[in-house]
């Protein structure tokens, strides 16, 4: 396997979790863009948003994706907003195989409620916030080479399907 594999998708669709198991199944390194940013900055995502704002976070995200897209074979898991910049979408499409994970809004609510680490989902009316963000991002995930609904599916099942589709691609 020569190319990088990018996992994209809305928050809570399982990118980070699936990515870990996919990387180990494919025996390639895993880089989670958010975790790499946190390591480099020495502060959490909520701290970056609170101190410097979303626009600054997006700059860090594009810089990190640029580095990862130029690296060796790997599974690269992105944050849900990585698709906002056309520059990021182009870069991912050009430098790897892009898998989009999806889930129903009810499933996303179950997965992300009580998690304080997503600044865009804090402050109440979780389902309303998710629907509004999904509306604002409509169409932006559609450049993926493969889309997969993760609702009600086990990690092993999801990883198995991605590995199978990759070998057929």
Ligand X SMILES: O=C(O)C1=C[C@@H](OP(=O)(O)O)[C@@H](O)[C@H](O)C1
Give the nearest residue (CB) to ligand ADP.
14
Length of the chain equals 169
Q: Is 110 annotated as a binding residue?
A: no
CB of 153 to ligand ADP, least distance (A): 5
Residue closer to ligand ADP by CB (options 4, 15) is: 15
Q: Is 14 annotated as a binding residue?
A: yes
> Of 5, 39, 2, nearest to 162 (Cα)?
5
For 164, phi then psi, to 5°, come to -65, -45
- The enclosing H or E element of 37 equals helix 33-41
User: Tokens for 87?
Assistant: 């520059």
Exposed/middle/buried for residue 25 (C-beta within 10 Å: 0-12, 13-18, 19+): middle
Q: DSSP for 75-117?
A: EEE--TTGGGSHHHHHHHHHHEEEEEEE--HHHHHHHHTT-TT
Positions in 68-127 near ligand X (CB under 6 A): 79-81, 118-120
Residue 72 CA, chain-centre distance (Å), reads 19
CB of 100 to ligand ADP, least distance (A): 11
- 21 near ligand ADP, judged by CB under 6 A: no
- 15 near ligand ADP, judged by CB under 6 A: yes
- 134 near ligand X, judged by CB under 6 A: no
| Contact residue for ligand X among 34, 64, 76, 100 (CB under 6 A) | 34
Query: What mask, x for binding ligand ADP by CB under 6 A, covers residues 111 to 130?
Result: x-------------------
Task: Catalog residues that contact ligand X under the rule CB under 6 A.
Answer: 11, 15-16, 34, 45, 79-81, 118-120
Q: Give me the residues that bind ligand ADP (CB under 6 A), please.
A: 9, 11-17, 111, 150, 153, 155, 158
């Amino acid at each position: 396997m020569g190319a990088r594999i990018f996992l994209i998708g809305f928050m809570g669709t399982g990118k980070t979790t699936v990515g870990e198991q996919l990387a180990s199944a494919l025996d390639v390194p895993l880089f989670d863009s958010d975790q790499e940013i946190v390591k480099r900055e020495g502060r959490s995502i909520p701290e970056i948003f609170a101190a410097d704002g979303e626009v600054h976070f997006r700059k860090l995200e594009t810089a990190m994706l640029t580095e990862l897209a130029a690296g060796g074979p790997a599974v690269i898991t992105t944050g849900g907003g990585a698709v906002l910049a056309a520059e990021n979408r182009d870069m991912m499409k050009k430098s790897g195989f892009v898998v989009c994970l999806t889930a129903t809004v009810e499933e996303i609510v179950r997965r992300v409620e009580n998690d304080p680490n997503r600044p865009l989902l804090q402050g109440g009316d979780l389902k309303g916030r998710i629907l509004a963000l999904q509306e604002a991002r409509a169409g932006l995930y559609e450049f993926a080479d493969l889309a997969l609904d993760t609702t009600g599916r086990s990690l092993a099942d999801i990883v198995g399907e991605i590995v199978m589709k990759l070998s057929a691609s």
